Amino acid sequence: MSKNLKYFMREAAEVERVVTVPAPESFKDENGKVIQLEVKVLSSERIRAINEAYHTHTVALDKKGNPYINGGNVVFRDERDNAKATRHILVEALQYPKLDDPELMKYYNCVDITQMPEKVFSRADEFAHVTRVVMALLGIGGQLSEEEQKQADEKEIDDAKN
């Protein structure tokens, strides 16, 4: 195999492909079949940007409002809202249902997109299922079951044929 850099020159569409996986069992169509979720596989750069949006780095202050000093250096306070960042990642990754759709947000009376995953998938098992599936597809954590992996692979093969 020759060393050629063209192997690493991919289009954005190749990186952020859309994969279809089954929704929780409680979401069925009029024929009784489980609805399929469409998940965009986000780039690691986009995931990092979302995580950084929920990270604050501020000066640590005492009760009087003075900054803490340690060894001549100002002490900083790092705060991360990982739960909110995860919900934002879910909103960005899910293409169907489109959780940031204005009509859907109005139906659930939400103004913040990070509230939507918990509103739409309100049961704990539904939310856990969607989170696990999306995070597994993004390579962040969790794994797809054999059936979910098979369905995702079949959809990818069908898309490649078309």
Q: Is residue 143 part of a domain?
A: yes
Is the link from the previous residue into 97 a cis peptide, with omega within 30 of 0? yes
User: Nearest-CA neighbor of 17 among 124, 137, 104?
Assistant: 137
Which pLDDT score, from 0 to 100, does residue 92 have? 96
Share of the chain above pLDDT 90, in %: 70
pLDDT in tens, 78-120: 999 999 999 999 999 999 999 999 999 999 999 999 999 999 9
Q: Is residue 5 part of a domain?
A: no
Which pLDDT score, from 0 to 100, does residue 144 have? 62
Q: What is the mean pLDDT of residues 139-143?
A: 74
pLDDT at 9 over 90: no
Which pLDDT score, from 0 to 100, does residue 157 have? 46
Domain count, the chain: 1
Q: Is residue 55 part of a domain?
A: yes
Question: Is residue 59 a contact partner of residue 77, using CB atoms and an 8 Å limit?
Answer: yes
Residue 129 to residue 133: CA distance in whole angstroms: 6
pLDDT in tens, 12-47: 555 678 999 999 999 999 999 999 999 999 988 999
Q: How many CB atoms lie within 10 A of CB 156?
A: 14
pLDDT at 121 over 70: yes
pLDDT at 132 over 70: yes
Q: In this structure, what CATH number is given to the domain that contains residue 83? A: 3.30.2220.30
Residue 19 to residue 37: CA distance in whole angstroms: 8
Question: Is residue 130 a contact partner of residue 23, using CB atoms and an 8 Å limit?
Answer: yes
Q: Is residue 26 part of a domain?
A: yes
Token pair 């501020």 is at which residue? 58
Q: Is residue 6 part of a domain?
A: no
Contacts with 57 (C-beta within 8 Å, 6 or more apart), sequence order: 76, 77, 78
Read off the pTM. Answer: 0.77
Which pLDDT score, from 0 to 100, does residue 102 have? 96
Residue 153's alpha-carbon distances to 19, 133, 141, in angstroms, are 8, 14, 18
Which pLDDT score, from 0 to 100, does residue 59 have? 92
Q: Bigger pLDDT: 148 or 62?
A: 62
- Domain encompassing residue 146: 12-161
Which pLDDT score, from 0 to 100, does residue 49 have? 96
Q: Is residue 62 part of a domain?
A: yes
